[in-house]
């Protein structure tokens, strides 16, 4: 299992608000088999790395399908092969350490 953090930004100059665009990306994610969580600066998705790369391409291409001529996509992938990782594990680990301090 891997985690991918992705932010897709349409650079079409139409508006400074992206909530409708982000909602359409969330609809695409809902149709996938991956778990995901929207946050203030993007979306984190959990799944096999091959599926995450495919989803990244689909999310990036989605903007072009909406008529946007330029898209800026930022992604980070944490792919651990020594153990399973899941959404929420990293913050929970930090919180546990803070609680012990």
More confident call, 16 vs 98: 98
pTM, full prediction: 0.86
Q: How many residues does the chain have?
A: 101
Helix axes 49-65, 19-30, angle to 10 degrees: 140
Percent of the chain scored above 70 by pLDDT?
A: 95
- Match domain 2-98 to its CATH number in 3.30.365.10, 2.40.50.140, 3.40.50.2300, 3.30.70.930: 3.30.70.930
Q: What is the pLDDT of residue 16?
A: 67
Q: Tell whether the model's pLDDT for residue 101 goes beyond 60.
A: no
Reply yes or no on whether the pLDDT at 34 is more than 70.
yes
**pLDDT at 13 > cutoff 90:** no
Q: Would the pLDDT of 17 be above 80? A: no
């Amino acid at each position: 299992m891997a985690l991918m953090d992705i932010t897709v930004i349409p650079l079409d100059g139409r508006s400074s608000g992206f909530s409708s665009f982000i909602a359409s990306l969330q609809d695409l994610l809902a149709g996938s088999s991956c778990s995901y969580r929207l946050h203030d600066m993007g979306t984190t998705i959990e799944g096999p790395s091959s599926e995450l790369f495919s989803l990244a391409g689909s999310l990036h291409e989605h903007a072009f399908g909406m008529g946007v001529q330029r898209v800026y996509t930022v992604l980070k992938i944490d792919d651990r092969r020594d153990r399973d990782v899941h959404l929420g594990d990293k913050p929970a680990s930090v919180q546990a350490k803070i609680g012990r301090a």
